Structure 1
Amino acid sequence: MSRRQMEVTPDLLLRAYGAGVFPMAESRGSDRLYWLDPALRGVLPIDAGFHLPRRLRRTALSGRFTITADRDFAGVIRGCAEPAPGRADTWINTEIERLFVALHDRRAAHSIEAWQEGRLVGGLYGVALGGAFFGESMFSRATDASKVALVHLVARLRLCGFVLLDTQFLTSHLARFGAVEIPKADYKRRLADALDAPACWHAEMPLEAIEEEITAMRAAAAD
């Protein structure tokens, strides 16, 4: 982990992701960014290894939330940056926000939104390069909102031909969905293959196709 030595631009950020490196700030109020290239990398399977609890699959298909893509990227990143129960601070500072909104404007960063009665209640965002999607953060203001957004993301990635979902770190929350840690060398090999994959993000996709993909996902017996 090293201190920033030069201005970080959207182009530099994309090159860093392509090399398997990503930025973080120490806190919301920090004005510095640090580059991370951890020895162990969290990845979430988007094939048969994705663990979808049966109850969550029912929730994702129930219509409780209206799910959209790239509808309110700025709102999602603000939601991810706000304090939450068990998390008084965040690594998303104003520079991170600026950079990722710029990437979104260039169609390189994307968001999934969960809505209830017209209110944004959850979502996630990340970067897409080739067949790799680098998940950055998620937030929830309603029970299961971010989880359903994640399920929709995985369904969308599968339909769009993505082969790698990078979660950066492994958390107990992501482990429930099948996320694992792999050594840096293995990750870099998988990343190189993914960058050459002929995937393409589509913000507008038929809901029926996404729901069919969710229905086809392997379901676990317990939540």
Structure 2
Amino acid sequence: MNSLPFLNPANTLFPPPEQALTDPNGLLAIGGDLSAPRLLSAYYNGIFPWFNDDDPILWWSPDPRAVFSPQAIHISHSLKKTLKKQPWRFTINHAFTEVITACAAPRAKQAGTWITDTIQTAYQALHQLKRAHSLEVWQDNELIGGLYGINVGGVFCGESMFHRRNNASKAAMAALGHHLHQYQYQLIDAQLMNPYLVSLGAKPLSRRDFLHRLHQLRDLKLDTQCWQPQEINIDLHK
């Protein structure tokens, strides 16, 4: 049985993801901090933080992993119908703070959120380093949906999404896939499988295969124009 190690505060090293527990699935380590170097080390090695406000910092690498191919995100008939009736605008990195704040708001039937003030501060610091990014969905000048995540070479590690109009988070994912595909990104990491992600086209990938793909892609040097603040024009209802 694997033990659960405490991270050394003197460095940003993690144990191998293969040492993660099977119950709970993927729990790898405890402690450390949410400094930018530690977070970037985590994502570079297929690890992410996930914990409640009253918990210590917990680090995860689940098996299997939920992933998307950027060009294969499913666009439902209802989303196509919505966009025909009400075209929405999509932007990159226009409102990162507003997006992560909206993602942190408690959802229906949830008592709280894992996107604590500490998490928000940490990812805002990554955004300042141009490593955390947001995609926004607008109806006129109202922010109605969006998502945020981390870029690691040719992989985008998605963290959370939100919507204030039906289908707005689905539209955000579809727009993200189109945008990333244009810039040669190969993989979107969505962390944990759930029915909602399945409906968008997520596929399970074993941890071994995920880490193999990550190691192939994490050092790619792609066009940084991808993450310049911009409006993206994508016709999702063709």
* Superposition TM-score tier, normalisation by shorter sequence: 0.7 to 0.9
| Aligned pairs for 1:1-223 within 5 A | 1=27, 4-26=30-52, 29-30=53-54, 32-47=56-71, 49-60=72-83, 63-200=86-223, 201-204=226-229, 207-208=232-233, 210-211=234-235, 214=236
Q: TM-score, normalised on structure 2? A: 0.80
Alpha-carbon RMSD across the aligned residues, in angstroms, is 2.1
Deviation >6 Å, runs of 4+ = none
Give aligned pairs, total: 210
Shift in Å at residue 116 of structure 1?
A: 2.3
Which residues of structure 2 form unaligned runs of 5+? Answer: 1-26
Tell whether the 8 Å contact from 1:124 to 1:137 is kept in structure 2 after alignment: yes
Tell whether the 8 Å contact from 1:30 to 1:93 is kept in structure 2 after alignment: no
Shift in Å at residue 59 of structure 1?
A: 3.4
CA shift digits 1:3-38 (9 cap, x unpaired): 643333101100110000000122xx3363210011
Which SS does the other structure have where 2:174 is aligned?
Answer: helix
Tell whether the 8 Å contact from 1:130 to 1:194 is kept in structure 2 after alignment: yes
Q: TM-score, normalised on structure 1? A: 0.85
Distance between the aligned counterparts of 1:152 and 1:167, measured in 2?
A: 15
Distance between the aligned counterparts of 1:108 and 1:6, measured in 2?
A: 20
Q: Which one scores higher on RCO, CA 8 angstroms, separation ≥ 6?
A: 1
Which residues of structure 1 form unaligned runs of 5+? Answer: 217-223
Shift in Å at residue 190 of structure 1?
A: 0.8
Return the index of the structure with the highest Cα Rg: 2
Shift in Å at residue 44 of structure 1?
A: 1.4
Which amino acid in 2 is paired with 1:33? Answer: I
Residue identity (%)? 32
